[in-house]
Chains A and B, each alone.
Chain A
Amino acid sequence: RTLLSLVREAKELHAMA
């Protein structure tokens, strides 16, 4: 996975929380 996609997932998880 690219770093960009990891950052995107982290942002989404944080937003959901």
Chain B
Amino acid sequence: LVSKIMAPVTSDLLDHTTDDHGTWCEVVGRSMEVMSHLSGAQGETGAKLRHEISSCTEAIRTLSRILGCNKCKEEMRQRAIWILTRLYTDTIGISGSFEYSCCGEDFVRMLVNIFTQDNEYSSSIRGYAGEALSNICFLGGISDATLIIQTSGDVINSLTQVLLHEENETCRQASAEILECLCTHYTKDDEYLHKLKKAILKVIGKILCCGDGTHNGEDIESQCDGTQENNEPNKDAQGFQVETLSTMSSNLLSSLLCLCGTVYNTSSVIDLRPQLDASSFLNNLRDMVVKRSGPTVENLSVCKAAGNMVISMLKYYSGGFFKEDNFGSLIEVLSSASKKMLDLDYSMVCSS
């Protein structure tokens, strides 16, 4: 039955010579719809179904083709991402058969290309690709991190540019999550790791130290770095404004703070010189905590991420970075927030 369901995809019934892909397009779409349900099935049955689908080289090839085709409907391409990601992440833990079927690594490289090329793909497809990559990174290990980080083109720079300049929040969130997973899983002490951590701290510095909403991007760049790198896209010169902490969503903010904490937490092999202006960093964090100290799940998540980040930095610098008086003020507001959120916090700990 599964092979019959997949037949329109396996046989690649799409007419690639026409813009609408011909009359069988609808049938291929429906076939993919059922395949996506099957590939998300639970338990042993789900594992067997995914094994059967991933063993079908022709089906995988058609799905990859749909993913890279600009003429295909967005819904079909999203579905192709979902099915291939589910197969890829599943076979990491179960059989590895996807690797042999034809395009395990190619699929991940394709996702990286889609996610980082904002002039070629729509932001919604890029958002899907980013979420898929984030999922793959989270569940994978050093091999996936290596694959992503060493994909042709300057992936690290592209990811940090998405985090800094992208308007689509799903993409920015995915970028923060991918960078965090790369920091956690990519443990080779080489130029990629050095570049990764340096680039992340630079972006964090731009967002967390300077985003007071009164400067355009150009001012912020010069305030933070003292220099403007020639190879960066010149979006800032066009008055692009770095998003302020107060307007950022709780999820994105939590991801950013977690990312910063992870950089310091996984830095045993690298000397991370302070690249943040301690005073404005602490003041911005304090203001952010004050605004988010009401007892809600989102606020609690942001404050915990901030707390974890501060602990990682205190350990890394042995307190050296936080000599300023501003630190006392930050701890005071965090302490006050922790008391306001105590009931919520305990109930969440118990329920988990």
Contact = CB atoms under 8 A, between A and B. Distances in A.
Interface in B316-343: 318-320, 322, 327, 331, 334-335, 337-339, 341-342
B307 interface: yes
Interface residues of A, number: 13
Contacts of B320: 17
Given A2-B349, A3-B345, A17 B318 contact: yes
A3 to B, nearest CB: 4
B319 A4 contact: no
Contacts of B304: 1, 3, 6
Main secondary structure of the interface of B (DSSP, over half): helix
Interface string A1-17: 11110110111011011
Given A6-B311, A7-B334, A13 B342 contact: no
B319 A9 contact: no
Contact of B311 (A2, A4, A10, A16): A10
B315 A13 contact: yes
Interface string B216-251: 000000000000000000000000000000000000
B135 to A, nearest CB: 25
B55 to A, nearest CB: 44
B311 A9 contact: yes
Given A13-B315, A16-B319, A4 B331 contact: no
Interface of A: 1-4, 6-7, 9-11, 13-14, 16-17
